[in-house]
Amino acid sequence: MNRLVQRNRDGTLLRHILAASESFWGTIALFAIATGILLWQVLGQFGISLIGQDSSFALWSLWLPRRALWLNQDIMVTDYAVFPFKQNLLLVLSLLGSVLSAALSSLRLSPPLVFNLLYGVSVIFTGWATAAYLLHLRVPRILALFAGLLLIFSPIMYYRLSQGYPTLMALGWIPLGCLVWEQVRWVKRSQSVSKGESLGESLRRHGVWLTVVWVGTVLTSLPLTFLALVVWVPYIAVGILQTRRDERRKLIDHLLVQALILLAVFMTYPLPGLLKTWAGLAPPAQAISLQAVWQHTAGMMLIGCLWIGLVALSIVSLFQANRLEAIANRTTQLIWLGIGLLSLVFAMAPGTGWFSNHPQWLSPIDWISLASIAFCIFIALSLASLWRQFLRRWELGDRRIIGLTTIPVAVLAVAIALQTAPPTIAWNASPAYAAIGKEAGDYAVLEVPFGIRSLTTGQQFGSGFDLQQYAVIHRKRTLNGSVAGSGTEAFTTYSNSPLFRYLAGEDGMSKTLVAELQTLVKSQQIGYVIVQLTRLQPEQQVEFLDFFDEKTSSLCRVFEDSSMVIYRTTWHPFNCNQPLM
């Protein structure tokens, strides 16, 4: 029996949660090794490149709340990227991720290292929380750890890694919430009385941690919160129905108090952003092909075969449960199986019928994330009964058991090794960016080559959208960048502008560019124009520098090195010709 069940439940909930992993630091070490395997192809770039296709935007979105709070600005609706067009960041914000990144930044770590460390934190947390929850349900330790590894090495986690969203890999909040709820639900009156504590007092003491998990989930990611509610609402409802009638009323009262506390937090964040999103800033629903997650690589095919085999074996064990042995977690198994199947249905739905005409708070990828969690837990719970029957029949020793269970783990490791390396974005932050960041004033920076991209539709104009990442150093508004929504107005404006078409490399020189640049500098209050030489062809370098140096009187060259040339505008409050450094 699990050590958590054997121990007295009168201890603090925190100690119970830590004890749920039985060997806390050993479990953390195991999942840290698994994280290294997941990231092995990019470990050499951990401190010099951002991992993931959209990592430049993700890094910027983690930095922006700190900047907005410092300037007493709105953290959700902002024009700090793709200036002057506003976008609602509610569905991509991670306030807890911003706090963690700020804490790591205080250690004077480089921005790429800070960002990439968030992958490790999220993956280790997810694996540990999944294993801890299963151990609490008396699943054999090796199966619980395997379920955590199965989730860590699942296609959805690799997809999030490739896309560049470490905070969305913190799926461990969902099983952790279920674990804390199980602790709250099984508080015994007799055990509380032994310490002179009433049931209500014990519930309140344990409920503090339930509130912490709820708030932590909200602050990690709003889509993750919606996913968690899909699990927690039926899970808590079934738990209440399974509670003794004389304790049910106090349990419900306790939950209402916790819900009111959470509602008070919700009134500050994220309710204001939700109201603004309902006003028309929500991105339209997009049908995402399963091929985006399940690519036909050797690694994915190997993982797919393993998943199909495990799910099939789990369903067989579910039908044979009564013949093998009575399973205390039969209801829990069915809940997770139902959640997994419904999640797959909703993942297919947004492109068709009623769903195609309404904004979707959860994308198909979010639903696939929930299905991955549900099936991992369902597999572990279902195989537990077969596991016990297998032990009784064959009387295997511990060493042989561990040897057998390392086979699927080895399959997972080989599958990850066969995957293609996740994309990376190089980090080449010149000291000149820090010099700009030290200047007072709230103005915009234009990077060349110019580029914007929509995260919702995938539409792209130009190629310099990832230069948004350097805003975390120069701390100014940027015209380059990605938009969380469709960005229709921005794309229409910039793609119809001869100047921006020229700066994006879409068109050649025209007579109107000088006048348009002069007007742009004043109207958009642009302080600097930065030419990224390494991002341009040699002939483009000559053409752009000739245009900025000779053909316009709006700019003064104030800095140059082998990788960039920086121009200060005549609008800038400093003297145009004053050197930057």
Q: Which tens digit of pLDDT belongs to each residue from 164-216?
A: 999 999 999 999 999 988 877 766 443 443 444 455 555 555 667 788 888 89
Please tell me whether the peptide bond between 84 and the residue prior to it is cis, using omega within 30 degrees of 0.
yes
Cis peptide before 166 (omega within 30 of 0): no
DSSP 343-357: HHHHHHGGGSGGGGG
Sheet holding 477-478, edge to edge: 477-478, 444-448, 526-532, 564-569, 555-560
Q: Is residue 7 within 8 Å of residue 19, measured between CB atoms?
A: yes
* Neighbouring-strand partners of residue 453: 460, 482
Contact at 8 Å (CB) between 222 and 93? yes
DSSP assigned state of 81? B
Q: What is the DSSP string of 46-66?
A: TTTEEESTTHHHHHHHHHHHH
**260-278: average pLDDT:** 79
**Which range is most confident: 115-119, 314-318, 332-336, 558-562?**
115-119
User: CA 409 → CA 147, 314, 386, distances in Å?
Assistant: 10, 17, 18
pLDDT in the model for residue 402: 59
Q: Rounded to whole angstroms, how far apart are CA atoms 118 and 97?
A: 8
194 SS3 class: coil
Provide the pLDDT for residue 60: 96
Whether the pLDDT of residue 17 is over 60: the answer is no
* Surface-to-core class of residue 110, CB atoms within 10 Å of its CB (0-12 exposed, 13-18 middle, 19+ buried): middle
| Beta strand 424-426 pairing with 77-78 | unpaired
CA 320/CA 307 separation, integer angstroms: 20
Exposure of 288 in the CB half-sphere (CA atoms within 13 A):
24
Calculate mean pLDDT across residues 540-564: 90
Please state whether the predicted TM-score (pTM) of the whole model is above 0.85: yes
Segment 352-375, tens digit of pLDDT:
443 444 445 677 888 889 999 999
Residue 270, preceding peptide bond in cis (omega within 30° of 0): yes
Residue-level pLDDT at 191? 47
- Confidence (pLDDT) at 403: 60
pLDDT digits (tens, 9 = 90+) for 217-227: 999 998 899 89
Pairing of strands 526-532, 564-569: antiparallel
Determine what percent of the chain is predicted with pLDDT higher than 90: 36
Q: Would you list the DSSP string of 67-98? A: HHHHTT--SSEE-SBSTTS-EE-TTT--HHHH
Mean pLDDT in the chain? 81
For residue 560, the SS3 value is strand
How far is 575 from 315, CA to CA, in rounded Å? 73
Alpha helices in 438-495 (DSSP H): 471-474, 488-495
Cα–Cα distance measured from residue 231 to residue 116, given in angstroms and rounded to the nearest whole number: 29
Q: Terminal CA-to-CA distance of the chain, rounded, Å?
A: 67
Q: Which residues contact 37 (CB under 8 A, 6 or more apart)?
A: 153, 413, 416, 417
Q: 254-279 burial by CB neighbour count: b if 16+ within 10 A, else e? A: bbeebeebbeeebeebbebbbebbee
Which has the minimum average pLDDT: 48-62, 99-113, 292-306? 292-306
- What confidence score (pLDDT) does residue 6 get? 37
CA separation for the pair 478, 413 (Å, rounded): 41
- Name beta bridge partners: 197: none
Instruction: Look up residue 6 and give its amino acid.
Output: Q
The per-residue pLDDT for 9 is: 40
Q: Any residues with CB less than 8 A from the CB of 349 and at least 6 apart, and which?
A: 355
Question: 363 near 286, Cβ under 8 Å?
Answer: yes
109: its two tokens: 């770590």
**Model confidence at 501, in pLDDT bands (50, 70, 90)?**
very high
CA atoms within 13 A on the CB side of 282: 17
pLDDT at 396: 52
∠ CA 105-227-162, nearest 5°, is: 50
pLDDT at 331 over 70: yes
Please state, for a pLDDT cut of 70, what percent of the chain lies above it.
81
- Tokens 């399959």 -> residue: 411
What would the two tokens of residue 198 be?
């009433």
Please give the Cα distance from 504 to 495 (Å, whole number). Answer: 9
Q: Which residues pair with 50 in a beta bridge?
A: 425
Q: Which residues of 543-562 are buried (b: 16+ CB within 10 A; e: fewer)?
A: ebbebbeeebebbbbbbeee
What is the enclosing helix (H) or strand (E) of 531? strand 526-532
Per domain, the residue ranges of the chain are 3-268+295-418, 428-569
- pLDDT exceeds 70 at position 260: yes
Angstrom distances, CA of residue 39 to CA of 51, 279, 282, 338, 406: 9, 40, 33, 32, 20
Nearest to residue 46, comparing CAs of 99, 105, 112, 103?
112
Dist. CA 370–CA 389, nearest whole Å: 30
Which of the pair, 424 or 7, is modelled with greater confidence?
A: 424
Least trusted range by pLDDT, from 16-20, 32-36, 259-263, 439-443: 16-20
Pairing of β 444-448 and β 424-426: unpaired
Which among 188-202, 307-321, 548-562 has the top mean pLDDT? 548-562
Compute CA distances 333 → 234, 318, 348, 351, 461, whole Å.
13, 8, 23, 30, 48
